Amino acid sequence: MKTNCSTRYAIHPQDFRSYDTQRIRDEFLVENLMEVDTINLIYSHFDRMVVGGAVPVSGPMPLETVNQLKSEYFLERRELGIINVGGTGRVITEDVSFELQYKEALYLGLGTRKVVFESADPLVPARFYLNSATAHTAYPARKVGLKDASVLQLGGKKNANERTVNQLLVKQILPTCQLQMGLTELKPGSVWNTMPAHTHERRMEAYFYFEVPAWQTVCHFMGQPDETRHLFMKNEQAVLSPSWSIHSAAGTTNYCFIWGMAGENLDYTDMDPASADQLR
């Protein structure tokens, strides 16, 4: 196995306005997260969020520290959220082995020294999506499935945004330092997510799109509400969203996405809304 980690630097919104398509893709889009026998990580300077993916096939894959962290082990000063978007897998720590089915989540707290990813069947490997944020307190590990989630039914068919928001790693379910994660499922016939759009002055966000068929796409919108840009995205790609940026999308079909947030406020409703008629 191998581990790759690259750095994405923080960007001022005024600078962002001058970016062309390729520069936006280079700075914010994460295209190749899920590679066999590889752990791919992006270290973002937006709230020091780490976004990653791990696909164990040949054998167990340990999550090792990287140069950007300057730490003895990966979770020495961090917490970690994991959601499986593949076959059945296991996440093994020094204390316990957690089995994760499709769309099940796991939280691991600060001070967890051993983190190993493993697939139950290498022919149908687990595909672990990772978000990590800095941490100040050690909270206990906990597995959270869709049956355990705090569920919101939002939108409607009329506006093509009927969706189920599964809040998985949020304060209503378990304590975390600053990380929050969940999974949104759009109903057939619905293509819009996170509309009306909003920004978060107190935190950043990352979106990971999946269940997008190979012949379809998702158009992700970002930027300040009065100066938006877009990215066409494929299956199992992620996008970084700074605090000053909206994060919304429309697809050529329905799809799912995982949202992850890091920052100073754990209130899910802490948003700065931008109505549809305000967007430019």
Q: pLDDT per residue over 205-246, tens digit each?
A: 999 999 999 999 999 999 999 999 999 999 999 999 999 999
Asked whether residue 267 carries a pLDDT value surpassing 90, the answer given is no
User: Was domain 2-278 assigned CATH 2.60.120.10?
Assistant: yes
Confidence of residue 270 (pLDDT cuts 50, 70, 90): confident
**pLDDT of 266:** 86
Q: What is the pLDDT of residue 1?
A: 86
Section 264-273 average pLDDT: 84
- Residue 272 pLDDT > 90, yes or no? no
Residues in the chain: 280
Asked if residues 202 and 243 have their Cβ atoms less than 8 Å apart, the reply is: yes
pTM of the complete model? 0.97
What pLDDT is recorded for position 85?
Answer: 98
Q: Is the pLDDT of residue 84 over 90?
A: yes
pLDDT for 180 equals: 97
Please give the pLDDT value at position 275.
86
Predicted pLDDT of residue 108:
98
Domain boundaries, the chain: 2-278
The answer, yes or no, to whether residue 120 has pLDDT greater than 90, is yes
Q: How confident is the model at residue 273 (pLDDT cuts 50, 70, 90)?
A: confident
Backbone angles phi and psi of 203, in degrees to 5? -165, 160
Mean pLDDT within 69-75: 97
Tell me the pLDDT tens digit for each residue of 161-201.
Answer: 999 999 999 999 999 999 999 999 999 999 999 988 999 88
